[in-house]
Copies of this chain bind each other. A is one copy, B any other.
Amino acid sequence: MDMPAPNSGIQARKPEIARRLRAVLPPDAVIEAQEELKAYECDALTAYRCPPLLAVLPETTEQVAQIMAICHDIGVPVVPRGAGTSLAGGALPTEDAVILGVARLRDVLEINTDDRYIRVQTGMTNLAVSAAVEDEGFFYAPDPSSQLACAIAGNIAMNSGGAHCLKYGVTTNNLLGVTMVMADGDIVEIGGAEMEAAGLDLLGLICGSEGQLGIVTEATLRILPKPEGARPVLLGFDSNEVAGACVADIIRSGLIPVAIEFMDRPIIRATEEFSGAGYPDCEALLIVEVEGSAQEIDDQLARIVEIAKRHDPVTIRESESAEESARIWLGRKSAFGAMGQRGDYICLDGTIPVGELPSVLTRIAELGAQYGHMVGNVFHAGDGNMHPLILYNANEPGQLESAEQLGAEILKLCVDAGGCLTGEHGVGVEKRELMTHQFAPVDLEAQMDVKDVFDPAWLLNPAKVFPLAVSASRRTAE
């Protein structure tokens, strides 16, 4: 992965920078030792690593503001880091950058069940937010697979989704307001507990901006009452095409299941061997889960089964108990582990219009064969958010590169089908150079112009989101 040349002038000033940061932070909040900095040299895109200049772990918004003011004054790049679970390299450091980790910002600031919101510091994990309101009968809807570990800060940066987002929307639909520290250390409040904001929608702009516009330290999040119950049905089909058509029909019917998960044959085989979930031998499986009262669940499942029957399913297994539900989900939940047993893999993240599912799956299989990589598909089908897994052997020279090339082809295919490079993982460094396939120069210029407004010196989360060559003139402007 190409990265811009580090600023050696900054590296020479490391002692001065560390001294100024120590002066405003608690004793153990500035990490300078190379062995300790190793923990910050990559995120979940582990193929790429780079030690940062320093790491800082502030505990308050005011401390973040002081860090930003110092870095702005000296001209040090800052890489914000949530829990480091980014699959797109969203928190990959550069050698001349300070890592600003929000892990110690993890207080609950306010819970208001009347107005259905919680205000938290953004270092809290996603699951901890739901846990904080569980006793009141509420939950926080976006649920990335990494929800046990991932921080709200990263969820906001990447506009994260999850299995529940078909019904409840992604982060941007559940974020009401933020406290953000600007590149120069100013603290601003954007949005709040009310429905809407006047003027330009800066909150919408900041959600999904991948740390390019500021450091979000506090967030007001919408919480929802927990449903009475939930139950899945497992549907097996003879081809990806038919399973895709069934998904489109369910969506078209107006039903809004909580989840529609799709697994193709490579995934079914791998998970069955790995987990013994008892999946049928077929080309494609859907797990469709609905929620509500017992009556509502029965009604919805009946309608889904009725729709499925029009597509000649080879299996219809409606869960009748919590044990059966767990068994249906077992294979799906072990899919990534199962593929990991078969080799190294890259997990892609593209979106397509739901109606394009059958043709895109066919084309992915063709591309996989052409490049000689096995590709498994396991994904949130209801909203067209695909996660092709490309298997490769990291110990064989050239395999990573060819898997990455195949990945780029598949993401371009998503864009050409009327979709998008990323559904929930973000662009990061991983998909940076593909942005020119999705956006015309004038679109990228407009985005970079907006970045200029918030971060004129381009110090925030360097070398992410925008293609290096395209953003070069901006980065050297200061």
Residues of A participating in the B interface, judged by any CB pair closer than 8 Å: 112-117, 159, 161, 169-170, 172-173, 182, 186, 188-190, 192-202, 204-205, 207-209, 212-213, 224-227, 248, 251-254, 293, 295-296, 299, 351-356, 383-385, 414, 418-424, 426-427, 431, 435, 438-440, 442-444, 446-447, 449-454, 465-466
Contact = CB atoms under 8 A, between A and B. Distances in A.
A115 B354 contact: yes
Contacts of A351: 194-196
B170 A196 contact: yes
Contacts of A205: 200-202, 204-205, 450
26 contacts: A112-B353, A114-B353, A114-B354, A115-B356, A116-B354, A117-B353, A169-B173, A186-B442, A188-B446, A189-B443, A194-B353, A194-B418, A195-B351, A198-B420, A198-B421, A198-B427, A199-B435, A199-B439, A199-B444, A200-B451, A200-B465, A201-B209, A225-B254, A296-B299, A446-B453, A450-B453
A437 to B, nearest CB: 10
Contacts of A204: 172, 201, 204-205, 207
Contact of A355 (B114, B196, B213): B114
A196 B421 CA distance: 9
A351 B356 CA distance: 39
Contacts of A194: 351-353, 384, 414, 418-420
A209 B452 CA distance: 19
Given A114-B354, A199-B465, A201-B205, A192 B418 contact: yes
Those 9 A-B pairs whose CB atoms lie nearest each other, nearest first: A204-B204, A225-B254, A114-B355, A449-B453, A115-B353, A194-B419, A198-B421, A115-B355, A194-B351
Given A173-B173, A188-B442, A443-B188, A159 B251 contact: no
Contacts of A383: 195
A418 B170 CA distance: 24
Contact of A443 (B190, B248, B424): B190
A383 B420 CA distance: 32
A446 B253 CA distance: 43
A354 B117 CA distance: 11
A255 to B, nearest CB: 9
A109 to B, nearest CB: 14
A224 B256 CA distance: 11
Contacts of A442: 182, 186, 188
- Copies per complex? 2
A159 B115 CA distance: 22
Contact of A114 (B252, B449, B466): B252
A99 to B, nearest CB: 23
Given A114-B354, A254-B225, A299-B293, A212 B200 contact: yes
Contacts of A198: 420-422, 426-427, 431, 435, 438-439
A453 B200 CA distance: 13
Given A195-B420, A446-B453, 14 more contacts: A172-B204, A189-B440, A192-B420, A193-B353, A193-B419, A196-B422, A197-B420, A198-B431, A198-B438, A201-B207, A202-B443, A204-B205, A205-B205, A296-B296
A219 to B, nearest CB: 15
Contacts of A169: 173
A170 to B, nearest CB: 7
A199 B384 contact: no
A201 B188 contact: no
Nearest to A225: B254
A418 B451 CA distance: 29
Contacts of A450: 200, 202, 205, 450, 453
A447 B188 contact: no
Contacts of A182: 442
A445 to B, nearest CB: 9
Contacts of A465: 199-200
B447 A200 contact: yes
B199 A447 contact: yes
A161 to B, nearest CB: 8
